[in-house]
Structure 1
Amino acid sequence: MEREAEISNKERALQQQQRRLDAEWKELERERDQIREDALREAEQEIAGWKTAHQRARDSRQKVYEELESTRQEIEQFRELSEVLAGRSAREILDELAAHKRRVTQLENQLASSEDDQLRAENEVLRKLRDEQKVQLDEVHIELADAKAQLHRLRLGVSDKENLEKEKRALEKNNQILSARLNDLGKTVDDLTQSQQSEKPFPQMAWMDSATNADWIKDRKAKELSLSAQDVPELKKFSVELQHRIAQAEDGATLHFCLEDIQLLIAGLAMSQLHIFQGISGTGKTSLAKAFAKAMGGHCTDIAVQAGWRDRDDLLGHYNAFEKRFYERDCLQGLYRAQTDAYKDRCNIILLDEMNLSRPEQYFAEFLSALEKNDPRDRLISLSESQLPNAPALLVEGRRIRVPHNVWFVGTANHDETTNEFADKTYDRAHVMTLPRHEAGFKVEPKPKASFSYGSLIERFDAAVTQNADEVSELLAELTTGPLTSILQDRFDLGWGNRLERQAMRFVPVYMAAGGRKEDALDHLLASRVFRRGKVTGRYDATIDDLNAIEQALTTVWKGWKSEPRRSMALLAEDRRRKERGA
């Protein structure tokens, strides 16, 4: 048996060596392809230079041809002029031109004398016309005198008509006064009707529909909107910058989170919209969520979870049919705020402080289901069974709120006698971080306040996933085909689910792009997903031999990597000590 085990170990070592050689061979092939692409690129640039020089020569030759053609046309015009002159000298042509000018002068003088005779005839005609019009004017004066006499006679009969006109004007004025009073009364009725109809069941969300950035800054003190959003830099650089921005985000306190925690946070943002920060009191769970929102130029909605919460109404609010008003809780306002024009390209945090004071599987159940849907357009939470009157513009069908993609739910958790344990459905959907107490600090580099766009952050995530997809796929293949898989299946009845693999394909590549090692990302996923209490550790039916087998399998998987699975090993060691004490 020992011989067979030794042979088996050697075979696995040879397989791992073969996989490393295959990886090196792929790297050599990639370098060969890169050299070939560089050579082709240089050749194309040289060809392009020759083509440019050739085009310049062709343009120069074309210009010379055009100048030659212009010269030929000038010569042709000179030849035509010579033919027109018919051999005469320039002096002869000038003398002929002078003779023509003298002839033109004589003709102009004759024309002027003939015009004077014509003007005299026209003057005589005008005199006769004046005499005729004078006679007609005298006749008009006579008719005007007759009209004035008739007007005098008519004025005497108009006085009665004027009295009637005065009475008519008085009646019209009274009519105008009555009409004005009727209009005022109608306007009052309309205002009362409109006021009753315009009562908004969602006053806060209705305000958000029409609010501009200036309104947010003035009325809601949204100072972050005074900063224009900028693109997120390369993730490795951004993780260091974010560490320093978080450190100085809160006034009056410096937050020293290690770079590894910031890298885990960034990778978790790419993996899930639900985060759980757990650890002992005072490790900065709440501060990290708030500081991250401020560092990103986004908004954090702070919600204190109560022990008596049972359903979504405790988190979102409820509609009062008698008052025709929806009591909008902070969570609902935070979801709606994230969809407005002012915040739709910013990172928004909804902080559920002490999330496990009540059971998230009850009051947060609809959100857990919504976040599991692949199409973000289907992530809807119903506020009412039917469409509500005067509903805000961004509600779907006037009754459902969308869970926007630029919102992350961050729940802080303490584990003591006053709290509840999370169910598997909550843990499996969340990015879980256990924050240690940070004793060591670092020198904080002052950073001006900035705002980073949500869209550029997602683009960085997608680019990292695409760049490292092949390497992560090989990592998962090595994990799922190794001895750890069979031990988990045979001794703990556990397997690798599709959700875990899907999350790993986003978490590990982004963690690598942020400056971390792939094996450390895998260790975090195993510790928070597989080896957490209740799955592998903390089970009454697991023996110390089972834990030893897990440790041996982890050692085999991690052989050849630069780091060790310290998070997973720490959980296993703690559970072994518990079993040795008989707890």
Structure 2
Amino acid sequence: MSLSLVPDVADVEDYLPAAPAAAAPVPQPGPAPAPSQATTTKIDLDAVLEFIDSRGFHFDPWQVAAYITAIRTKPFVILAGVSGTGKSALPRLVAEATGAIATTVPVRPDWNDSSELLGYKTLTGKFEPGHLLRFAREAAENPDKQYFFLLDEMNIARPEYYFAEVLSRIEEAGVLGVGAAATPLKEDAGDDWDSVSIPSNLAIVGSVNMDETTFGFSRKVLDRAFVIEFSDVDLSLVDGAGANASPHDAHSDAWRRESTTLAGHPRRAEPSVVRVIETLTELNSLLQPAQLHFGYRVRDEIAMFVLAAEQEPDQFESTEGGQIDPLDLAISMKVLPRIQGSGATITNLLKQLSEWAQPGSGDALAFPVSAQRIELMQRRLIETGFTNYWT
């Protein structure tokens, strides 16, 4: 299907929401402190892949590139897929390869509030800080280092119960100007913990399994995360490269975002942004009858993901060397997880999306990654009467 339904774009600014009349200009980040000579301000994907391979793990280059680019777009990423595919290992390996600090906290089924993450007061009135609050303070005290907080089996409890406050703080941190005070994670903590917020050098990564023992995700969670799904496994790959590859320390600036909103992005008028907006406008028109359309947040994050990917275009390739379209990946990560259900509405929607993702015979697929997932969702709907994004 072509994009003929979408009017020609004269100026990408026409698609951006106007700033409120009384709004003050958002301060732009000033120059970052110079990193030490022992670190770099650029992540070397080839070195990261070599390091991962030396540890006996294998990922396609695009998977690692998508993970790194997603973190540099939004510091909240969900890794999903079949058990044993390395989704829990990937963030730890990337952290080790780049000299970052990572900690893993397994989620328990009895988490029904944020006390394990943010803390609680004992019967004697003493405040006991939670896992995330401690880690956030350590990250704030070491701004030159990148920190990763890994939530293992994130959906073995309901994320909306224990993660709601953290989601709100992640969204707020994404729009604060330089010098603006972030809302603390736990304002009633006391004991010097009530001033700890999410620093810019901290990212949160969740691993999830989707089966009968786990919970699904609400749109509130999905809209605020990039979802990378690991399902393809090549069992013939056994040995790593064998070399003991050394990590290449990267300064936290290497993980920093260019902008927190599309309207404030220095490259928002690039042709790739025009393509993103045209594509998403047409995609939203297909999703709207099923009430699954999305808003400005999803649009902004997909566009900024594509802009970030443009800085390293050769990274988005398969093991065989084929190029992967970052926009295709972003649609699969940000839009398709919203689709689930049964009945005629979902059936018709998936049919339309399938036709949209792959043009007529003889042409190359427009969005092959998304088309493959849509086909899987269609088969599941036929076989079970219900479908969703997850394998």
Interval of TM-score (by shorter of Structure 1 and Structure 2): 0.7 to 0.9
Q: Aligned ranges for residues 140-539 of structure 1 at < 5 Å? A: 229-233=38-42, 238-248=44-54, 253-320=55-122, 322=124, 325-340=126-141, 343-373=142-172, 374-375=175-176, 377-384=181-188, 387-388=190-191, 391=192, 395=193, 399-436=194-231, 437-439=233-235, 441=237, 443=241, 446-458=244-256, 466=266, 470-482=270-282, 484-489=283-288, 491-514=289-312, 515=314, 516=316, 520-532=325-337, 535-539=338-342
Cα distance in 2 for partners of 1:485, 1:459 equals 26
Shift of 1:459: 7.0
Q: Match of 1:401, SS?
A: coil
CA distance in structure 2 between the aligned counterparts of 1:458 and 1:512, rounded to whole angstroms: 15
For structure 2, the 5+ residue unaligned runs are: 10-35, 318-322, 386-391
* Equivalence for 1:149: none
Q: Offset at 1:354?
A: 0.7
CA separation of 1:582 and 1:229: change in aligned 2, threshold 3 A: same
Shift of the 412–481 alpha-carbon distance from structure 1 to 2, 3 Å rule, reads closer
1:540 aligns with 2:346: no
User: For 2:207 and 2:37, how far apart are their aligned partners in 1?
Assistant: 30
What RMSD over aligned residues (CA atoms) do the two structures have, in Å?
A: 3.4
Return the alpha-carbon distance in structure 1 between the equivalents of residues 216 and 122 of structure 2.
33
Deviations 1:361-400 (A, max 9, x none): 1111100011111117324212526x43xx3xxx4xxx23
Query: Any conservation in 2 of the 1:348–1:406 contact (CA below 8 Å)?
Result: yes
Identity of aligned residues (%): 23
Work out which of the residue numbers 552, 556, 561 in structure 1 matches 2:355.
552
Structure 2: how far apart are the matches of 1:563 and 1:550? 13
Q: Is the 8 A contact 2:358 2:368 kept in 1?
A: no
Q: Tell me, what secondary structure is at the counterpart of 2:59?
A: coil
CA distance in 1, matches of 2:275, 2:352: 21
Deviations 1:386-425 (A, max 9, x none): x43xx3xxx4xxx232111111111111112221111111
How far apart are 1:460 and its partner, in Å? 7.5
Superposed displacement of residue 269, structure 1: 0.8
Higher RCO by CA contacts (8 Å cutoff, separation 6 or greater):
2
Unaligned runs of 5+ in 1: 1-8, 20-226
**Count of aligned residue pairs for this structure pair:** 340
Distance in 2 (alpha carbons) for counterparts of 1:564 and 1:10: 9
SS for the counterpart of 1:300 is: strand
Which is richer in helix? 1
Mapped partners of 2:257, 2:225: distance in 1: 22
SS at match of 1:449: coil
In the TM superposition, residue 552 of structure 1 has moved relative to its aligned partner by 2.0
Change (3 A) 1:444 1:407: farther
Note if contact 2:154-2:206 (Cα within 8 Å) is conserved in structure 1.
yes
Q: TM-score, normalised by structure 2?
A: 0.76
Contact 2:79 2:229 in 1 (8 A): yes
Structure 2 vs 1, CA of residues 495 and 419 (structure 1 numbering), >3 Å: closer, same or farther?
Answer: closer
Q: Would the alpha carbon gap of residues 543 and 449 (structure 1) be closer, same or farther in structure 2, given more than 3 Å must change?
A: closer
Counterpart of 1:303 in 2: which secondary structure? Answer: strand
Q: CA–CA distance in 2 between the matches of 1:443 and 1:466? A: 40
Q: Counterpart of 1:211?
A: none
Do the aligned partners of 2:340 and 2:346 also contact (CA within 8 Å) in 1?
no
Distance, in Å, in 1 between the alignment partners of 2:342 and 2:307 is: 32
Q: Is the 8 A contact 1:356 1:414 kept in 2?
A: yes
Q: Separation in 2 of the partners of 1:348 and 1:265?
A: 15
Give the Å deviation of 1:576: 2.4
Question: What SS does the corresponding residue of 1:384 show, helix, strand or coil?
Answer: coil
CA distance in 1, matches of 2:164, 2:102: 22
